[in-house]
Every structure is written in structure tokens, then in C-alpha cells.
Amino acid sequence: MRHKGTRVPPLHNPPLLSYSNPLLLVAVLLLAVLLTFIYFASAGSYFQDPLFCGESQGSQHPHSPHWAVGSHTEPSLLFPAVFVVFSFVSAIDLIISLEEDGFISGFAEVYVREGEPYLRTAHGIMICYWDGIVHYGLYLAMITAMSQRKSYRSLGLFWLGSLVMSIVVFLLGNLIGKYSSDISAAFLLNLPYVLIPIWAGTRLFQQPRAVPCLTAEQTEQEQRRWLHQRPHDLVLVLVLLLMASFTFFRGMVVLDCPADSCFEYIYQHEPYLRDPVAYPKVQMLIYLFYVLPFLCLCIYALLRPGCSWLPDWSLVFAGAVAQAQFSHLGSSLHSRTPFPYQTPEDVWWIFLITNVLYALGPQLLALRCLHSPAFFLPITSSSLQGGKKHQ
């Protein structure tokens, strides 16, 4: 029996549960919206076709070329399923970024603080914005293309490069940066972002490429032109050379090169490279050891005809650099970055223009490969015979 005047303390939900309820509600609503979108987008399409359950291997002639015009491989049901799940996660990432920037509140505060505190950094917020906006749009575009029997290969390759660059920098920065001691079991949630791109990339590269119908004479005529006869390629080569020089310079900066120019740059132009979170240093090292060699290969492919690998890899490259530059630019200017590491106001416009132009170079290269692929088509025996006739 309770004595008169004795107060029974009210029962409160645990903090984590109380903060997770709004996030769970939003998650369920987002999933419902996504499933509704898939249902209407796939109405009457091959999502309901038994052929969609696997790749149609027998639909192509066994001797059809890999560059067959309009040929495509039917994707499996795993592709839309993966994109639906990733779209769901992208929407959650957008909620996290909006909450961290103060636009909304009460959705994921406890989870981010206790589970993945590195998402509260400027870099974490930027990759959540990119995932919640760009990746989300790509997922919906690819799902729509699937439902309409259209090719989504180019979008998929761009997404592949963007996702791989994002997760590699994020994971390595967490492991070696200031938040390495705060890694918990929630860190394992990033494991699918490592495994699934490997599977998806394999499937995407196996799908045949669709190119305009060109005769052997047209291909030969394009491939016999020197660089000075292709002004757009000449400009691209110059742009790639500038990108390679800037990539090498910033790589030397993060490697603590003792040159005065490197010391001045890291303290007066990009102090964010010194941030102990380690994301910018990891990004510049990836640029130095992977992007720089690829830039050299791109220049070679613009000089020598028949490099059929460039159209595909230029899309992967474009996605990777676009994501990296967005995260690097945003983090350098974000208020979550400690003031000593933020970009100084007197060099703000120079820093912004330089990094935006750096991001545009790969996009221009990918567009050039998509719209005028004749120079990169494999050199066939017929074109070689045609070349001999013209000599």
C-alpha cells in the first residue's frame, strides 16, 4: 500500500529509445515511400518478367562484339533490391546531416553521438549530404532506367567511383585519425559498402557497352587524326597535365615536404590538410598514389587511339573525383572544422575556384568519351586494312 503523499516517479523511456523512436518512424515512412515508388515505376515492366530474374545469356549472338550497338544485359533482381536498400540508407544519411547542421532535431542525435561520433565531423556531414542527395538521386534514376528497359550502365559506373572513393577515405580516416579510439560495433555497418561495390562493379563491367553505329572508315578517319587536329582533346590534355601537377604538389604537402612553397601552402591556403581527423591527408595520398597514375594513363589514351578502357574508367574516375572534391571543399569551409584548420578568408575564392576546376576536369573527360567514342574504339583488322589502302 502506498502511503499518502508519497510520489511515484514517472516511468521514462531510456534516452536511446526515446531518441530512436522519431528516427524509426521516419525510416519506416521513407521505406514505404521507396517501395511505393518502385511499385509504380515497375508497373508493367520487366520487374514482373521472369527473364529479369537472371542475365539473358542466350539473347545475344555468340560472336556479337563487346561494343554491340544497343546491346545490354538483363540485370538480376539483386540490383534493384540493393539500390532500394541503399536509397533507404541515403535518406537516413540526409537526415543525419540536416540534424548535425541544426536544420532539424531529435532524430539521430544519440545514435551519432554514441555509435558513430565521426559522423559529427565536417567530413562526416559532407559525405552524408552527398549520399543523401547525389547517391539517392542516382539510385532512383537507375531504378527508373531498369523499369523502362533503358541502360543504366553509365550512371552505375559513376555511382561506383563515387561510392568507392567515399567509403575508402571515410574508413581509413576513421582508423588512423583522432576518432580511431572511438570505433565501436556500429563501425561494422560500413562493411556492406565495401563488399557490395565489388560485386556491383563486376556486374556493371560485364554489361556490354552501347556506342553509336560507326563504320570502319569513320573510325579509322577519327583515329588517324593527330592531337593538334583534335582541339578538344588538346585542351583536355592540358587540363589533365595541370591536374597531375597540382595532385603531385598537394601530395608532397601532406608528406611534409620541407620546401618553402609547401610550408606556405599548408598554412596559408589549405590548413585543413593538417586537421588531425586525417580525412584530408588520406584523400591527398589517394590522389597521389592512385589518381596521379590514372591521369597519366588518360593523357596516354588521348594520344594513342584504341584505348577502349577509357570510356568506362573515365566515368568511374569522374564519380570518384566529384565526391572527393565535394567532401574536401565542404569540410574545409564548414564550421565544424576547428578554426585553425579552416580556409582563410583572404584566399577563399582562390581555393574555391582551384578545387572546383579540379573537379570539373574528370567530368569533361567523361563527357568527351561518351559523346565521341570513335577514337577509343578497338582497332580492328578491317580498319587496319582500310588504313593500308589509304597509304
Q: Using alpha carbons only, give the angle 274, 111, 170 rounded to the nearest 5 degrees.
A: 35
322 CB-near residues (< 8 Å, 6+ apart) = 134, 162, 359, 362, 363
pLDDT truncated to tens, each residue of the chain (391 aa)? Answer: 444 444 444 444 444 334 445 555 555 665 666 566 555 555 544 444 332 333 433 334 433 333 433 344 444 556 667 888 888 889 999 999 999 999 988 888 888 888 888 899 999 999 999 999 999 999 999 988 888 888 889 999 999 999 999 999 999 999 999 888 878 777 787 888 888 889 889 989 988 887 667 778 878 888 899 988 899 999 999 999 999 999 999 999 999 999 999 999 999 999 999 999 999 999 999 999 999 999 999 999 999 999 999 999 999 999 999 999 999 999 999 999 999 999 999 999 999 999 999 999 999 999 999 988 889 988 765 444 444 444 4
Q: Of 307, 312, 360, 354, which Cα lies nearest the Cα of 332?
A: 354
Q: Write out the H or E segment, with its range, that includes residue 290.
A: none
Show me where the domains of the chain are located.
Answer: 216-376
The total of other beta-carbon atoms located within 10 Å of residue 371's CB is 9
Contact 66, 208 (CB under 8 A): yes
